[in-house]
Amino acid sequence: MLKFRQHQAPEEAPTANTIIGVNSNFRGTIMVAGTLRIDGEFEGDILNCERVEVGEHGIMRADVEVKEALIIGRVHGNIRALGSIEMRAGARVEGDVAALTVAMEQGVRFTGRCTMLEAGSEAVEIGGGLRSR
């Protein structure tokens, strides 16, 4: 008797509910409940954001604390994630990253330090933001 495994589709990322589009510039503080996608330029503070995505043409100049991050474009700043940070081919990151898991494809240009967090011991979530103990 043959048994076949069901192929499960990979989990899809949540749809961005806030987008800074190509050829758009934003400077200041933004509060996002959910996912922020940056395809233009952003400089400032990001508060209460669960997931940040920097698209192929996106440039982010900020230090962020999120649950997840996907980087395809350029980042100048530090990223701290309670969950995962994924950097895809073509990404350029200048800054330190810290997360439970970090995935980096071949072709990423990364300058900084990478710290792998331990669940519960180095990071705790307090009021929507992450704080170190």
Task: Please write the tens of the pLDDT for every residue from 41-88.
Answer: 999 999 999 999 999 999 999 999 999 999 999 999 999 999 999 999
Q: Is 98 within a domain?
A: yes
Q: Is 8 within a domain?
A: no
Q: Is 91 within a domain?
A: yes
Q: Which region holds residue 83: left if phi is over 0, alpha if psi is between -120 and 50, else beta?
A: alpha
3-state secondary structure of 9: coil
Q: Is 11 within a domain?
A: no
Give the residue, 118 or 60, on which the prediction is more confident: 60
Average pLDDT score over residue span 97-126: 83
Distance CA 119, CA 99 (A): 9
3-state secondary structure of 100: coil
Residue-number span of the structural domain to which 71 is assigned: 18-132
Average pLDDT score over residue span 100-111: 96
Distance CA 67, CA 13 (A): 12
Q: Is 9 within a domain?
A: no
Q: Is 58 within a domain?
A: yes
Q: What is the pLDDT of residue 9?
A: 47
Average pLDDT score over residue span 1-5: 47
- Per-residue tokens: 96: 């330190």
Q: Is 73 within a domain?
A: yes
Q: What is the pLDDT of residue 51?
A: 96
Q: Is 25 within a domain?
A: yes
- What's the structural domain count of the chain? 1
